[in-house]
Homo-oligomer: A and B are copies of this chain.
Amino acid sequence: MEFDDKVPIYYQIKQYIYKEIIVNRLKPGAKLPAVRQLAVKLTVNVNTVQRALSELVNEGILKPQRGKGNFVTTDISVLVDLRRRVVEGQLAMVYDRLAELQITPDEMIQYLTNYIDQRKEQSHD
């Protein structure tokens, strides 16, 4: 996994796990890989993984069991809320940044549509 050195690794790991849960590769109640395994897989230190996980625990997304492992919560409402939170966060970010550039909502839709068309053409190679 590649990290952006402009933002803390533990934070990017957090986002990564968000993603794995949202796309259901980590299902409710599922056991995460051991922290030491994760550290190897992500080529970071155990403490860095631990920091990310502890924040996820505080958010109620992970339920750790001493001696057993970390498990995704089975509280569906928490997970549904997570998805909404993350998606809306992304939308808010573009909206705000493009608005700062004095781009109107209508133009945003237009730009995104065009951009998607470009990507479609590029993938037709």
Contact = CB atoms under 8 A, between A and B. Distances in A.
Interface size class of A (residues with CB under 8 A): 20 to 34
Contact of A94 (B93, B100, B113): B93
How many chain copies does the complex carry?
2
Given A19-B100, A86-B101, A91 B112 contact: yes
A88 B101 contact: no
Contacts of A92: 115
B6 A11 contact: yes
Contacts of A8: 6
Interface of A: 6-8, 11, 19, 22-23, 83, 86-88, 90-95, 97-98, 100-103, 105, 108-109, 111-113, 115-116, 119-120
